[in-house]
Every structure is written in structure tokens, then in C-alpha cells.
């Protein structure tokens, strides 16, 4: 494998020790670039046997220019920046790393939900402004009286349900691909999409971004929710029509929203959600912990080596 070469198209990591050691042990040369455009990727990776990609746009033109590539590995879960169909047509496997930060993302989703349910941002702001008051300004039901709902029932959603179990509330989920008996084993009731929105007190989104799920949360569905409901998104930004969400918060259609992902990132300075009441916004940090970064790097490099060796891949997304 000494003639093989892996190219990291771009990255934001503090170091590449895991990649360097993994590829060195496999006899694979490593080239590191910081590409931002398709043209820069082509210049850096035309002769690459494997690509590791964080944010760089690997579009159809890039894939057409790859002379020898066998596998493309995306650092993370989403693969929106890789043209899956073009890669498949060239016989190039595209893989993600779905399991590097499951617990972290679930922690963040639950943290946003709890902060909003207990109205912590609003009470903190009220106190700092000089008001001492021992009851909240808005209704605050006990968590044990609330229904925690997830759209999706994959690894992250299941982890979030496990965390919420201790609050002893009702837990429901919508996922057409998971049987009700599997959910029941974890104490979760399977519901249809209509019931998801009408019954949820806290709705946490854990869906992939596909054409059918874009704007899964929109003005019509927000109008179906309880006025005390909270929406949380740590999955993919376009799952929510965010201008519609901002309007719903302004109008009191729902009680709050916690978002870590957005339709456009970085989040635009003039977006109406910035001025919306009871919106708790974080900057795509749900995946992060001191251990998740090296775990992501190690798993991505190991998957690339499997692809170069022709071994079974663990997380190919364009079969």
C-alpha cells in the first residue's frame, strides 16, 4: 500500500496525530490541504486514493476529476457537501462517521430542552435586570407531566430518550422505519406524524436531511402544537423553516425553541430568529467534547484505510 495516498481536503482540528499514525501504520501517504472551493480540491486531490473531508464542497466536478479515488470519508454525520450520486456513478464509496458524538449531541439536545422547560434563560435575564421573583413569568409544568417527543428514533434520539427517562414523563417518537415493539422495549410509544406535533411538550428533531424532511417543522405544523411546546434541533438546520419559527415565537404560537443548527451557517446577523423571544441559540457545538474530536478523527481514518484495502466499510452512505 506504499503507493497509496490519502488527502485531507480541509479540517479544523488542533492536530492530526490520529490520522498520521493510522495512515503511517497502513503504509499510506498523507497530504493535508485547506481547500475551500472545488477548484482547490481538484488541484490538491486529483491523484488521491482516498479523501477525508470536513466542510469542503466535493461536488460532481470534483468527483469527475478524481483519477484514482476509492473512498471519500466525511468527518461527521451529514454528507450534504458530497455529491453522493456522482460518487456512486464513479464507483467511489462515500462514508460518514455517525457514532463519534452520539452521547454529546443527545446531551446538548436534552440540555437545550431542560433549560427552556425550566425557563432558565428568561429567569436569568430577569434577575440580572434587577427583578427578584420566585415564580416564573410563564406557565412551567413539571417535567414529569410533560411529553418528550423525538422525530426519529436512531442512535442519538434513543440516547436522548434514555437521558429523559429519569424525569418520569411520557415519551413518544415518530419514525416510520422503526417498529413499535422496538420503541416499546425502551419505554417509548410510537406515534404517527400528526400525533407527534399535537402531543409533544418537547419535540427534539433527530432526522436526516432528505427532500421529504426539509422544513419538517413549518408554520402549519407549529400551529398544531401546544402553546406551551418547545422545539429543539441538533440535527440538520433545514429541518426547520426558521423564519416561520421566529414568527411563531413572536406570536406566542409555541413557548420556546433551542437550535444548534441552522439553514445557513454561520448564522446570518439579520435573521429574524436572533430577535425572537424564548429562542436559545448555539453555534453548531452539540457534537463537541474533549473526547469526541479525537474519536471522530480516529474513526474517519480507520474507515478510509478499510476503503483502501477493499475491506467491508462500516458506514457507507451511497450503496
- Report the CATH number of the 5-100+290-309 domain: 3.40.50.720
Query: 232 in helix, strand or coil?
Result: strand
Q: CB of 273 within 8 A of CB of 247?
A: no
Three cell numbers, residue 82: 458530497
Count the neighbouring beta carbons within 10 Å of the beta carbon of residue 56: 26
List the chain domain ranges: 5-100+290-309, 102-281
Residue 16 Cα distances to 24, 51, 74, 130, 296, angstroms: 12, 14, 15, 48, 11
Sequence-ordered list of residues with C-beta below 8 angstroms from that of 137, at least 6 positions apart, any chain: 119, 122, 126
102-281 topology per CATH: Rossmann fold (3.40.50)
pLDDT at 1: 43
DSSP string over 5-60: EEEE-----S--HHHHHHHHHTT-EEEE----SHHHHHHHHTT-SEEEESSS-B-H
Cα dihedral 135→248→173→193 (10° resolution)? 150
Q: Are strands 5-8 and 29-32 parallel, antiparallel or unpaired?
A: parallel
Query: 95 in helix, strand or coil?
Result: strand
Angstrom distance (rounded) from CA 105 to CA 286: 5
Rg (CA), the chain: 22
- CA-nearest of 230, 23, 16 to 117 is 230
Looking at the DSSP assignment, which residues form a beta bridge with residue 259?
A: 233, 281
Query: 189 in helix, strand or coil?
Result: strand
Angstrom distance (rounded) from CA 276 to CA 244: 11
Three cell numbers, residue 232: 429543539
Query: 149 in helix, strand or coil?
Result: strand
Neighbouring C-alpha atoms within 13 Å toward the C-beta of 70? 15
Q: CB of 237 within 8 A of CB of 211?
A: no
List average pLDDT for each run of 10 residues in the chain, which is 319 residues long.
86 96 97 98 98 98 98 94 98 96 97 98 98 97 98 97 98 98 98 98 96 97 98 97 98 98 96 98 96 97 98 97
Q: Whole-model pTM?
A: 0.87
Give the position of cell 450520486.
85
Count the neighbouring beta carbons within 10 Å of the beta carbon of residue 290: 6
Cα dihedral 187→120→220→174 (10° resolution)? -10
Burial of 139 (0-12, 13-18, 19+ CB in 10 A): exposed
Same fold: 5-100+290-309 with 102-281: yes
pLDDT at 106: 98
Angstrom distance (rounded) from CA 132 to CA 126: 8
Catalytic residues: 236, 265, 284
Amino acid at each position: 500500500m506504499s503507493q497509496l495516498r490519502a488527502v485531507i481536503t480541509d479540517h479544523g482540528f488542533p492536530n492530526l496525530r490520529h490520522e498520521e499514525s493510522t495512515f503511517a501504520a497502513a503504509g499510506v501517504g498523507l497530504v493535508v490541504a485547506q481547500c475551500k472551493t472545488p477548484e482547490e480540491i481538484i488541484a490538491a486531490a486529483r491523484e488521491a486514493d482516498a479523501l477525508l473531508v470536513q466542510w469542503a464542497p466535493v461536488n460532481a466536478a470534483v468527483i469527475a476529476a478524481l483519477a484514482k479515488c476509492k473512498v471519500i470519508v466525511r468527518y461527521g454525520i451529514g454528507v450534504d457537501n458530497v455529491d453522493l450520486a456522482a460518487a456512486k456513478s464513479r464507483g467511489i464509496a462515500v462514508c460518514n462517521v455517525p457514532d463519534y458524538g452520539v452521547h454529546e449531541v443527545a446531551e446538548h439536545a436534552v440540555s437545550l430542552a431542560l433549560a427552556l422547560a425550566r425557563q432558565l434563560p428568561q429567569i436569568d435575564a430577569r434577575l440580572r435586570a434587577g427583578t427578584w421573583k420566585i415564580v416564573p413569568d410563564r406557565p412551567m409544568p413539571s417535567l414529569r407531566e410533560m411529553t418528550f417527543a423525538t422525530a426519529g428514533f436512531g442512535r442519538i434520539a434513543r440516547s436522548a430518550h434514555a437521558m429523559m427517562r429519569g424525569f418520569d414523563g411520557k415519551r413518544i417518537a415518530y419514525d416510520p422505519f422503526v417498529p413499535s415493539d422496538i420503541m416499546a422495549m425502551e419505554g417509548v410509544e410510537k406515534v404517527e406524524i400528526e400525533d407527534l406535533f399535537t402531543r409533544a411538550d418537547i419535540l427534539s428533531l433527530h432526522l436526516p436531511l432528505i427532500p421529504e424532511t426539509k422544513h419538517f417543522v413549518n408554520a402549519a405544523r407549529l400551529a398544531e402544537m401546544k402553546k406551551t411546546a418547545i422545539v429543539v434541533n441538533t440535527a440538520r438546520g433545514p429541518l426547520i423553516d426558521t423564519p416561520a419559527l421566529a414568527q411563531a415565537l413572536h406570536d406566542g404560537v409555541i413557548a420556546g425553541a433551542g437550535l444548534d443548527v441552522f439553514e445557513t451557517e454561520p448564522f446570518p446577523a439579520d435573521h429574524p430568529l436572533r430577535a425572537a423571544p424564548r429562542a436559545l441559540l448555539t453555534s453548531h457545538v452539540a457534537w463537541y467534547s474533549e473526547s469526541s474530536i479525537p474519536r471522530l478523527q480516529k474513526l474517519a481514518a480507520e474507515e478510509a484505510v478499510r476503503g483502501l484495502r477493499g475491506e467491508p466499510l462500516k458506514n457507507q452512505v451511497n450503496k
